[in-house]
Amino acid sequence: MEDATMSTRSALYHCFGLGVVEVLRTEFDGGESVFHCRTPVSRLRCACCYGTDVICRGTVTRRFRLVPIGSRRTWLEFTLQRLECRECDVIRQEALLFAKPYRRYTRGFARYVLDLSRIATIKDVAKHLGVSWDLVAEIQREQLEKDARKVKLKEVRQIAIDELAVGKGHRYVSIVLDLDTGAAIHVAEGKAADSVKPFLRRLKRSGAQIEAVATDMGQAFPSAVTEVFPEVVLVYDRFHVAKLMNDKLTKLRRDLQREADVLEKDMLKGTRWLLMKNPENLDPDHNETERLFGALEFNRPLATAYYMKEDLRMFWEQPNMEMAERHLDIWIDRAENSGIAVLKTMARTLRMCRQGLLNWYQHPISTGPLEGFNNKAQTMKRQAYGYRNMKFYTLKLRTLHIKKYALTG
């Protein structure tokens, strides 16, 4: 009998991480295992001063969830002792090392939940272990908050800022990405300047020497950055420029198609995506090159805008900033004198953002890494079938770069 007790005590120590405990009895009933334990008298310590001169003033029993044994749910019925300390004159319940305060599960069980969370959704983990969705989410949230606190803002040098659509009804979150580590160092609801400005102030207080910031050409993020970091180099993202140019081209095609005759409408039909593709990506097996250039031959304004779009791409292919500046200025002049409204509008935008575009040659950064981040975020959301709590979702986003966590929700 004593050997069996010793074996059980050893298993509780090595397999469940309970430390040295006294096993009172063990029960196996209805597919569950229950270990009744308490702290040996020789190991009782004051929870305040850790003194050993203590007197027991009563007990209370608490139940904790342990890591399952096979398919059996496993519990720990622990007899907690209320101790009076003769050294510091306080009466407190003994401190437990195997569980956090106010938790009904052990630290080992929490680690097991996190291990399962690498490969399964919250719903699946909860179902497998027979616990609530909220319990699994609580364990994940505590670990996510711990991981999020590890970011050292003082070491950040280059960042990218962009927004991410997170649901229906124009719901967005603003994301600040550390371009050196790939970590989302800030996630907040909204896409206005106020969604990032408090964090930027915190970033400045941390002593971070921000060298450059990649952002879109809207007013919100650039204004927030220059207000907090007036000397920082602002780099307008090349992918946002390309998207804006494609939008202008799409608008022109739509306007021309609306006014075209039957033959021209037939030629323009199905060319939307062809116009946005780079020439080298056109598929000859589907006659995409022939269809595109056939449509351009029939419509000079559309052809002009298309070739201007391709010429704008060459801005980022120049050997140095001086050549890039010359290329950009020539492009803007040509667009302003083209007689095409969408090109004139694009030219005004580029003229206002001229320096931010040229800054790319000093700091060749972009919000491109955020696109990969956004893809992971969308995958995570789909696998989790959405999230009940926005704060929990933003915590998930902030730790996406940590590979030990799965994308599951």
Question: Would you state the pLDDT for residue 152?
Answer: 84
How many independent structural domains does the chain possess?
Answer: 3
Enclosing domain of residue 340? 238-361
Residue 117 forms part of a structural domain: no
pTM above 0.85, yes or no: no
Residue 119 forms part of a structural domain: no
Going from the C-alpha of 272 to that of each of 112, 177, 238, 304, 346, the distances in angstroms are 51, 32, 21, 15, 19
End-to-end CA distance of the chain: 46
Kindly state whether residues 299 and 324 are assigned to the same domain: yes
The CA distance from 209 to 203, in Å, is 9
Question: Would you state the pLDDT for residue 179?
Answer: 92
Residue spans of the chain under pLDDT 50: 1, 385-386, 404-409
Kindly state whether residues 251 and 346 are assigned to the same domain: yes
Question: 3-state class of 377 per DSSP?
Answer: helix
Question: Would you state the pLDDT for residue 342?
Answer: 94
* pLDDT (tens digit per residue) in 107-127: 999 999 999 988 888 889 999
Residue 148 forms part of a structural domain: no
Q: What are phi and psi of 204, to 5 degrees?
A: -65, -40
Tokens describing residue 372: 């990969």
Residue 143 forms part of a structural domain: no
Which residue in 101, 121, 102, 99 sits closest to 111, CA to CA?
99
Question: Would you state the pLDDT for residue 402?
Answer: 61
Kindly state whether residues 13 and 86 are assigned to the same domain: yes
Domain boundary among 80, 105, 130: 105
CATH of the domain at 193: 3.30.420.10
Question: Would you state the pLDDT for residue 361?
Answer: 96
Question: Would you state the pLDDT for residue 329?
Answer: 97
Question: Would you state the pLDDT for residue 405?
Answer: 44
Domain boundary among 71, 105, 139: 105
Single-letter amino acid, residue 159: I
Question: Would you state the pLDDT for residue 388?
Answer: 59
Question: Would you state the pLDDT for residue 11?
Answer: 67
